[in-house]
Every structure is written in C-alpha cells, then in structure tokens.
A and B are shown apart, each in its own frame.
Chain A
Amino acid sequence: MKKDATLKMNEGSAMRVRKDIPLKILLFVLFTVLCGIILVPFYAIALASFKPGEELIRYGLNLKFDLSVMSFDNYAYLFTGDHSYFVWFFNSLLLTVVQVALTLIVSATVAYGFSAYEFKGKNFLFICVLLIMMVPFEILLLPLYTLIFNLKLMNTYSAIILPGIASAATIFFFRQYLSGIPKEIIAAGRVDGASEYGIYWRLILPIMKPSFAAMAILNGMNSWNNFLWPFMVLSDERKYTLPIGLKTLLTPYGNNYDLLIVGSFFSIVPIFILFVAFQKYFIDGMTAGAVKG
C-alpha cells in the first residue's frame, strides 16, 4: 500500500519534469501577451506625443508609426511654449512634498500615542481611525466644501492639506510598525531622564525611518494624482495642480491637444523614475492595507 503511493509519486515527479517546459512556455507567453495589452495605452500616448494634435483629432489615438507626421514639435512647445504647464507641475510638486512631509510627521506622532501608552478612550479613538477608513470621502465633499467656504480657505493649499493631515491609513500602518519596537527603549529613555516628547523625538522617530519610505510613496502618489478635491477648491489658474491643469486642456474643440498629450505623457515620467528606483517601497506601500488581513 505504502509502496504503491511512493511509486505513484515518483511517476508523478517524472511526469512533471517533462511537463515543466511546456508549462513554463505557456505561462510566459500568457503573461507576455497580458503585459503587452497593459502597456499598449502607454505606447499609444508616447507615440501620440510625437504627432501633431490635429492628426489626433482627425484619425484618433492609434498605433500607426508614421515618421512623416512625427516630430519633436510638441516637446519643443512643452518646454519653451507660452503656457502654464510647468507652473502646474511645480505646484503639484510643492503640494506633494509639503503634504507628504506634514502627513507623515503628524500621522507618526498620533500612531506613537496609540502604540506607546495606555489611556482612557484609547480604544474608542482607535475605532474612530478605522471608521474614517470605512466611509468614502466623496460623501463629505459638500459639507467639507461649505466648511472650507465658511473658513475662508477657498483657493488655498491649506484647504487641500488640512483635511487629510492625520491620514487614517498612515496612522494604522505606523501603529502596526511601532508595535514591533520593544517598549524597553521607552523605559530606558525615562530612566535617563528624557521627557515623554524627547523620547519620541530622539529615540523613536529615528527607528521609524524605514517605515517612512513606504508611506511617503503611498501618500506621495495619492497627492500627486489627487484630483477631485483640489479641483473643487482651487479656482485660480496659477494655483492649479497638474491633473487639474491637464483636465482644463481637454476641451471639446481639441485645440490644446498638442500640449495635452505631451503633457500627460510627461507627467507619468517622474513617477516612473521613482517607481523604478524604489520599486520595493511602492509595493510595500500599496499592499500595506491588505497585510493586516
């Protein structure tokens, strides 16, 4: 009986070796095709960024590689033309950097409070953190809009930064990370006479550095691509962020397509470079929510 089973297993593994190669090829072909399909839109827009907008209006976005209509004109216009693209670009950059820095430091501070202490109302407050993660932000759009209006914060970056400054998902992630840090560090700090805030600032924050990368990427990506709320709050064209600016170029007349296409394509470039350089952190940041299960 037992012999029978081992015999079967050997047979199985011998079969598997023979079956390996076709299986490998099949999987490889399947994923190559899939990736090909996924990358087509990128190829299409890259190609279109070398064609005049008029061509796009007349023939649509396609994969025709036609050197006779392709040129660097759009790129020349992007870098030297009379338009606000780089104003928007730097607005986005500034807003992203400020927003990420503030969100990370505030969220880390809150997370430390939750993880290092026992205090009255702690569980209730933490349930509130989870609650924020559970309600779609879109529901708050209108009351938040009237609130910002009444606070006279319309058309300011504060209106974009403040509501998200204690990000629930980021607090949650940092708290998970901090739970892995031994409590003895805090006790040792107290013995050495450091204040509660000194312990956090000088002992804990430096240890948290590795966890900042993933959250910086996640928050940075969200901020760089954020559209709806800034679109509602900002009305001054000089204050627009890149997604808002690009959206305004998409008119029914198509007179801005030269800039729209090359600008859209160029807006992906910084993220692409960051992604290639910090791939691991991107993936850690994106899947941070799912790990807890």
Chain B
Amino acid sequence: MIKRFLYSQKVAPYVFVLPFILVFLIFWVYPLGSSFTMSFQKLSLGQEAEWVGLDNYTKLLGDTIFLKAVMNSAVYMLCTLLILIPLPMLLAVLINNKFMWGREFFKSSLFFPALTSVVVAGTIFRLMFGEMDGSLINSFLGLFGIEPVKFLKGQVTGFIALLALATWRWLGVNILYFLSGLKSIPEDYYEAASIDGASAWQKFRMITMPLLKPTTIYVLTISIYAGLAMFIESLMIWNGNNSPKNIGLTIVGYLYRQGIEKSNLGYAAAVGIVLLVLAMTINMIQLAFSGLFKKED
C-alpha cells in the first residue's frame, strides 16, 4: 500500500524534490527567520534570549565602526564594478578578434588565478604588498625612484592591495563570461555595419554593448553581492579581522566580529539583516533600471 502510494506518478515528483524542500526549510528558511528574530534580541550562544525591540538597529545607526564597515564594503563594491566590468568586456572583445594569436592559451592563463583559494591568493598578495623595500611591489616602485610604501597601513593603499587581489582573481572569469556572451552575437550584424561604414568604436558602442546586456546584468548582479559580502580577502590581506583603524573592515567582517568573536549574536544578526536589505535594494534598483532600458529597445 505505502509502496503503491510512493511509486505513483502523482507522488514521485515530490519524492524527487524532497531533498531540496528539506534543505530549503532547515538551512535557509529557518536560519533566515531566526536571523530576523535574533536581530530583535540580546543573545549569546547557548543562553536565554532577551527581547530588546529595535535597540540593535538604533544602536547600529550610531555605531561609527559599523558605518565605517558599510562605507568600506560600498566603496569596495563600487571599485570592483568600475574595474571588473568595463575592463573584462574590452579584453573579451579584443581576445575574440579574428586577428588574435594564441587565443586559447591567453584565455586559460588569464583564468588561472581563479583556481587558487582566497587563502593562498591572499597570502601571496599580503606578502607582495609587504612594507619592506625589498618586497615585490615596493621594489618595482623603487625602479621609478618611489620611496617604499607601507601599503597595509593606509586606507587608499590598503584598498589598492585589496582591489589588486580582486582584479587578479576575477579578471579571467569575467572575460570568460563576456566571451560566452559574445558568441551569441551573429557575425552578420558586424558585416552589415561594416558595409554602412561604421568604425570599430561605433560597432562596439551600437552592436556589442547592447547585445552583451544580458551578460553584463548577470556579471553586475553577482559582483554587487560579492562586493558587499566581501570578507575573507580582507581577513587574509590583514592576517586577521583587525586592520589598523579598521581600514579593511567590511560588513561581514563586522558581523563576524560581533557574532563570533564577541558572541553578541543579536547585534550581529541586525548587521546581517542590514546587509541583506542593502544587497536586495541595490540589485532591485539595478534590475529595474536595466528592465526600463529594455522597454526602450
């Protein structure tokens, strides 16, 4: 009887998707829900919770270290968008050019950094941007007569190290994304444009860019999340969650500091909710904008 029930065509699909339903409920809905409730509580691991209403949120608004973390994450996200979208798009167009020698080799070499873990890549970059005059970046700068820089002690120079790491790891991946987008553009569009006497720039502006829009939106969406949720890069570059004057502190870094290091779970949950709202809002605005442009076409 049970066997007939489980084997019927009506019940089988639910059996197939059951693992997803379970994982979704246990490891997604429940944690997200408890994140919401925790954010209204004062709570540490294994202890009784105490309801505090909106206290955590009002405290966050006046918390200068939190605001610093939000600022850092936002600036980091913005910089990665400004670097890691136009540059890979341009390089993908160049590498896709029919005059390109050794295309496959270059594609693989540029992709290679994405294979390393953040831990290994972060260690390498931390050492490369070391403050001794003999370390890689400083000895390079020395060639131009520039004094050694204490990269990881300054706000701007620290961010240069972080962004160098991000660019190094993600440039090749984003190039691959744009290349797969370029494949879907029919060759005759360009031929037609050539006949009309369009310049290379005009072709890029009028054909390539609009037709790459779906890929661009995809890259933009994942980059916004990755940028806002960045943490381990900073953890590795500064070898810990404490950077001088919090120059490398991010939103997730602050969540980790409050939640795990200080066992201040309620307050940290509020940080998480702010991050969620921030990420959702920015992406909704972004998607609405790209949707609006679609209507014009």
Q: Are B30 and A247 in contact (CB under 8 A)?
A: no
Q: Are B136 and A61 in contact (CB under 8 A)?
A: yes
User: Can you list 9 pairs linking A and B with CB atoms under 8 Å apart?
Assistant: A60-B135, A132-B24, A138-B275, A145-B259, A166-B23, A196-B12, A252-B239, A264-B120, A286-B176
Give, as a whole number of angstroms, the nearest-CB distance from B295 to chain A: 17
Q: Are B229 and A138 in contact (CB under 8 A)?
A: yes
Q: In the complex, how many residue pairs between chain A and chain B have their CB atoms under 8 Å apart?
A: 275
Smallest CB-CB A-B distances: 4 pairs: A60-B135, A113-B16, A293-B214, A225-B117
Question: Which stretch of A68-76, A77-85, A104-112, A208-216 is in the interface?
Answer: A104-112
Q: Are B229 and A30 in contact (CB under 8 A)?
A: no
- A5 CB contact (under 8 Å) in B113, B195, B215, B219: B195
Number of contacting residues on A, CB 8 A?
A: 95
A112-B16, A136-B228, A250-B239 known; A286 vs B114 contact (CB < 8 Å): yes
When distances are taken between beta carbons in the complex, the residues of chain A under 8 Å from B120 are: 243, 246, 264, 267-268
Give, as a whole number of angstroms, the nearest-CB distance from A151 to chain B: 9
Counting chain B CB atoms within 10 Å of each CB, the highest count among A27, A42, A44 belongs to A27
Give, as a whole number of angstroms, the nearest-CB distance from A200 to chain B: 7
Can you list, as one digit per residue, whether each of B14-40 has a CB less than 8 Å from chain A (1) or not (0)? 111101111110111011101100100
- B180 CB contact (under 8 Å) in A147, A250, A290: A290
Other A-B pairs beyond A117-B12, A138-B272, 16, CB < 8 Å: A34-B106, A60-B127, A62-B135, A110-B20, A113-B16, A125-B17, A138-B252, A143-B31, A149-B46, A162-B23, A195-B7, A197-B15, A227-B232, A247-B119, A247-B236, A290-B218
- Cβ of B58 < 8 Å from any Cβ of A? no
- Cβ of B128 < 8 Å from any Cβ of A? yes
When distances are taken between beta carbons in the complex, the residues of chain A under 8 Å from B236 are: 247, 250
- Cβ of A141 < 8 Å from any Cβ of B? yes
Question: Which A17-46 residues have C-beta < 8 A from chain B?
Answer: 20, 23-24, 27-28, 30-31, 34-35, 38-42, 44-45
State A163–B128 Cα separation when bound (angstroms). Answer: 36
Q: Are A165 and B35 in contact (CB under 8 A)?
A: no
State A271–B279 Cα separation when bound (angstroms). Answer: 32
- A139 CB contact (under 8 Å) in B17, B113, B126, B276: B276
- Cβ of B134 < 8 Å from any Cβ of A? yes
Q: Are B17 and A113 in contact (CB under 8 A)?
A: yes
Give, as a whole number of angstroms, the nearest-CB distance from A99 to chain B: 14
When distances are taken between beta carbons in the complex, the residues of chain A under 8 Å from B84 are: none
When distances are taken between beta carbons in the complex, the residues of chain B under 8 Å from A171 are: 20
When distances are taken between beta carbons in the complex, the residues of chain B under 8 Å from A227 are: 117-119, 232
- Cβ of A255 < 8 Å from any Cβ of B? no
Give, as a whole number of angstroms, the nearest-CB distance from A129 to chain B: 7
Question: Which A226-279 residues have C-beta < 8 A from chain B?
Answer: 227-228, 232, 242-243, 246-247, 250, 252, 260, 264, 267-268, 271-272, 275, 279
Give, as a whole number of angstroms, the nearest-CB distance from A27 to chain B: 6
- Cβ of A203 < 8 Å from any Cβ of B? no
State A287–B252 Cα separation when bound (angstroms). Answer: 26
Q: Are A41 and B168 in contact (CB under 8 A)?
A: yes
Question: Which B94-121 residues have C-beta < 8 A from chain A?
Answer: 94-95, 97, 99-102, 106-121
